[in-house]
Structure 1
Amino acid sequence: MRLQHPDGQTVHLAYGTNVHPAEDLAGILQQLETYATPMRERLGTDVLGLGLWLGAAVASELAADPEARRRLRRELDARGLEVVTLNGFPYREFHAPVVKRAVYSPDWADPARLRYTLDLARILVDLLPDDAARGSISTLPLGWREPWDGPHAGRVLRALDALAQGLAGLEVLTGRVVRVAFEPEPGCIIENTLQATVHLARVDRRWLGVCVDLAHLACAWEDPVAAVQRLARAGLPVVKVQVSAALEVADPGGAREVVARYAEPRFLHQTRTAGARRAFDDLDEALADGEAAGQPWRVHYHVPLHAEPEPPLRSTIPVLRAGLGALVGGPIAVCDHLEVETYTWSVLPVEQRPAGPRELAHGMAAELAWSRDTLHDLGLKP
């Protein structure tokens, strides 16, 4: 879905396909038919943008096979779908029964992460619409905070240099630009925008920058306007935005029974008390700490954008709105790649989960419609 900013830029709005578990080409093509096509039709748009997730195995296959890439492009075109951004954060098995910290492996000290990301870049240049200014890939914020020492950090810096060189070489070969965006997340080496300015201070800004996930930013209790200004002062480009909302618990003590229903075994739900004064790596840890119940929480649990969670819980939609205002609501669009990334539909409390593929497609279409309307309110036009 394309919108035009008052400054003339085309802003791409996509839905992230890491909500789906498929990790081979046949499964990916099936999910296009099952979800993406009905969403496009329901939204009444000629073209629907996807933030495509490709696991490491299928990425390796596609990167090595030009005909497979051409086939995927034909299948996208035939359905009125386009891809300008890939989600390169989960490496594989993102919908395994237990994911938790495994999503941060391999980290950027492991050569496998570099190979995977360059595979994605090679694929993306063949999927990009002819008139797209550039492509983007979001990735993890270097790695989980442990283990991390001088040698580990040195390997990461060398990998980032090699990444920039690989992207530059790809432009020479293809004439297309692909940039990689590191996505701050609670518990990682880069948790917030301040840490991004420190750990990414030496990167080549033509190729590398930041992915602002608005749910993660809320969980870090960052002010969106100040965060965007901080990145601008540091000269770090916002390459991509994840349009997402986290779970907010104003009174954890009084809402304990309701919030406990969001504790589940698959994904990590980092929890931060007001002002990020206390940090828990998962929701069940916060629930087990009696002292934490006296302060508001924000929980890394991506919730549907168009519907508030069960009272007395709420979402961080106000942070999301303020973030979009800072990023695309001014005279110049700070970023032109936006992706709705609610990957938790399958682990919502049972009564909130979609009953099947049709209901899931309707829910995701409703999120995109909400996002589109919010951007319209900020002055962007179809």
Structure 2
Amino acid sequence: MQTDQGYLTYCTNIHPGENWSDHFAALQQNFPSIKAQVSPDILMGIGLRLSHQASEELQHADNLTELKQWLSANKAYVFTMNGFPYGEFHNTAVKDQVHAPDWTTHERLDYTLRLFGILKQLLPGGMEGGISTSPLSYRYWHNTPELLKKATDVATANILKVAKELISIDHQSGIFMHLDIEPEPDGIIENGPEYITWYTQVLLPQGKPLIAETFGVTHDEAERLLKRHICLCYDVCHFAIGYEPHQQIIAELEEKGLKVGKIQISAALKAALPSDTKSRKPILDTFEKFNEPTYLHQVIAKTQNGQLLRYRDLPDALNDGANAAVDQWRAHFHVPIFTEELGLLQSTQSDIVEVLQINKNKRFSQHLEVETYTWGVLPDEKKLPINDSIARELNWVKDIL
């Protein structure tokens, strides 16, 4: 729905399903109830997640027509999409395979272009559209500096192919869409500074000559076009895990003219770790309850001298739980955003409030998407009816806005 700060929705990656029939059935089953609780009287947008298989099936004219008719009948529209998970995202061990296929492959490129082709047909007139995507690749698949550089260069070249398509669509039809790169712990791009470095030292040097030659424009105009169509997805959970200073990062993005295409409103787990073993153990035991086999739950620990220690998954952190130098953990687990206290643990809810306050002052993005996709793997005592939970999250954000 439209708010004073932009368009607010939730990401449908919470709903399981691999083919279009399953995706559409989930929308039909869940969205009307959510809308009735959040936006009963005005149009409400959808943050659509399509798997590779579903995106192929939705290209069929009958399926797309049926979706358009359903959207109209339910006073709904699609303005943003999640193009990060390519394949199955529930009911299987996703872990690092959430990045596969990565941006070094033609499969990722073709999938993303297909999503933009669909979004172009669904996007309301005069509204900008965006699709969030992976941070190039999973860094531990490229285990030497040379391999990491090669993967970065190939991935960047493929992203520039998307940029060329988006610029062409904009020029030919006036439909404005952007690709939103989503930093994540252990991605090739995992935080704000790495995104800015990649953009200024890799993407722009590769992209400006290419765009200038392709469209017959100056290098300055090529840079403007790239900054218009290749943006950042500011996932608050991911940035909070890395203890990132939101005000500083957003100010540096603004100073360099780099745009935020979407704010993903999400919260991570955190806890202070007492120095004595007896007091620490119950906290570690509570973290253990969130150790489930579907998703990666990277942990970034802060030591007493301010250094950061990175663990690829929660079991790795738990194995080092007695490390007396560490006094805080933050874990990649998208917990419900409407609560700050989770027993002995807390959420990074305050980071959401801070980022939305900055957006209120600066209006650095007009796409706001709640993304809590882990309802199905939460400990039993944290589970609530899914539609009521999603509506409660959206209404909590409305109150903050």
Q: What do residues 149-199 of structure 1 show as CA deviations (whole Å, max 9, x unaligned)?
A: 333222112112211111122234543111000011111111111000111
Report the counterpart of residue 223 of structure 2 in structure 1.
none
The size of the alignment, in residue pairs, is 362
**For 2:254, what is the secondary structure of its paired residue?**
helix
Question: How far apart, CA to CA, are the structure 1 residues paired with 2:315 and 2:307?
Answer: 17
Partners of 1:276 and 1:66 lie apart in 2 by: 54
Report the CA distance between 1:48 and its aligned residue. 2.2
What TM-score do you get using the length of structure 2 for normalisation?
A: 0.87
2: CA distance, partners of 1:145 / 1:311: 33
* Aligned residue type for 1:233: E
Partner of 2:17: 22
- Equivalent position of 1:120 in the other structure: 115
| CA RMSD across the alignment | 1.6
The 1:66/1:172 distance shift into structure 2, 3 A limit, reads farther
2:134 is equivalent to residue 137 of structure 1: no
* Runs of 5+ consecutive residues of structure 2 not aligned to the other structure: 205-225, 275-279
Distance 1:165 1:174 in 2: 14
Aligned-pair distance for 1:27?
Answer: 1.5
How is 1:21-100 mapped onto 2 (pairs within 5 angstroms)? 21-45=16-40, 46-63=42-59, 65-100=60-95
Deviations 1:326-345 (A, max 9, x none): 2x221x41100010000000
Q: Taking structure 1 as reference, are residues 97 and 15 closer, same or farther at Cα in structure 2, changes over 3 Å only? A: same
Alignment of 1:219-230 (within 5 A): 219-230=241-252
Aligned equivalent of 1:279? 310
Q: Which has the larger radius of gyration?
A: 2
2:347 maps to 1:329 = no
Q: Which residue type is aligned with residue 349 of structure 1?
A: P
AA paired with 1:28?
H
> 79-88 or 303-312, which moves further after superposition?
303-312
- Which secondary structure does the structure 2 equivalent of 1:143 belong to? coil
**Change in CA separation of 1:232 and 1:291 when aligned onto 2, cut-off 3 Å:** farther
Identity of aligned residues (%): 34
Deviation of the 1:234 alpha carbon: 2.4
Paired residues of 1:73 and 1:126 also in contact (CA < 8 A)? no
Equivalent in the alignment of 1:194: 193
Residue 106 of structure 1: how far off its partner (Å): 1.0
Shift of 1:301: 0.5
SS of the aligned residue for 1:211 comes to: strand
Give the C-alpha shift of residue 319 in structure 1: 1.1
The amino acid across from 1:51 in the alignment is G
Secondary structure, counterpart of 1:246 in structure 2: strand
After TM superposition, list the pairs within 5 Å mapping 1:168-187 onto structure 2.
168-187=167-186
Secondary structure at the aligned position of 1:265 is classed as coil
What's the TM-score, normalizing by structure 1? 0.91
State how far apart, in whole Å, the 1-side matches of 2:320 and 2:149 are.
33
Q: Distance in 2 between matches of 1:333 and 1:234?
A: 16
Q: Is the 8 A contact 2:78 2:123 kept in 1?
A: yes
The code of the aligned residue for 1:303 comes to V
Secondary structure of 1:262's aligned partner: coil
Matched, 1:311 2:333: no
Task: Decide whether the 8 Å contact of 1:273 with 1:292 is kept in 2.
Answer: no
- In structure 1, stretches of 5+ residues that fail to align are 6-10, 376-382
Structure whose residues are more often helix by fraction: 2
Shift of 1:207: 0.8
* 1:309 Cα deviation from its structure 2 partner: 4.4
What one-letter code is carried by the residue in structure 2 that aligns with 1:136? Answer: G
Does the CA contact (< 8 Å) of 1:25 and 1:58 recur in 2? yes
